[in-house]
Amino acid sequence: MAAAVKRPPLPAILLANDLLDGDIVFATAAPDGALVWTRDPAHALVAADDPAAERLEAYAANQLATNHVVDAYLVDVAIEGGLPVPRHYRERMKTLGPSNRLDLGKQAGEGIDAQSKRVSA
């Protein structure tokens, strides 16, 4: 699973599948500034410039190499209501869940704590 893919237009977020569970995870900044994974797309760190995107790419490469995640890649986003939303519908599905089962996936709050749960269209 190669990490090196063409960088999409910015702003962008980094998403991947957790190796153990397969869940979609997003790179975010911990309180100390270090990059960690979150299951909540609302907390995804948005890279608005090249240095920030390079940092996410380096994190992706590291996390793939150390077997924490699979299929990690940058996704271009729009900022809607202060939150990053993938511009392409395919990746939007990844931040939500199956559209025929609103009771499943991130749209149902799976893996997302109640306070940060967002409502997405």
Partner 1 sequence: MYRYDEFDERFVRERVAQFRDQVSRRLDGSLTEDEFKPLRLKNGVYLQLHAYMLRIAVPYGTLSGRQLRQLALIGEKYDRGYGHFTTRTNLQFNWPKLRDIPDILDLLADVEMHCIQTSGNCIRNVTADHFAGVAQDELEDPRPTAELLRQWSSLHPEFSYLPRKFKIAVTGAEHDRAVIKAHDIGLRLRRHPDTHETCYEVSVGGGLGRTPMIGKVVRDYLPKPDLLAYLEAIMRVYNLEGRRDNKYKARVKILVHEIGVEEFKRRVEEEFARLDGPSVNADPAEIARIAAYFAPPAYETLPEVSRVLEATKAGNPAFARWVETNTTPHKAPGYTALTISLKPIGEAPGDATSDQMRLVADLAEQYSHDELRVTHAQNLVLPHVRQRDLFAIWQKLGEAGLASANIGLITDIIACPGLDYCALATARSIPIAQAIQQRFADDERQRLIGELNIKISGCINACGHHHVGHIGILGLEKRGIESYQITLGGESTENAKIGEILGPGVAAEDVPEAIERIVEVYLTQRVGNESFIESVRRLGLAPFKAAFQEVAHAVA
**Residue 17 or 62 having the CB closest to partner 1:** 17
**Residue 27 or 96 having the CB closest to partner 1:** 96
Listing DSSP states for 47-97 in one string gives B-SHHHHHHHHHHHHHHHHTTSEEEEEEEEEEEETTEEEESSHHHHHHHH-
**Residue 28 or 107 having the CB closest to partner 1:** 107
What distance in Å separates the CA atoms of residue 40 and residue 58, rounded to the nearest whole number? 21
Residues in contact with partner 1 by CB under 8 A are 1, 17, 19-24, 64, 66-67, 70-71, 87-90, 93-94, 97-101, 104-105
CB of 88 to partner 1, least distance (A): 7
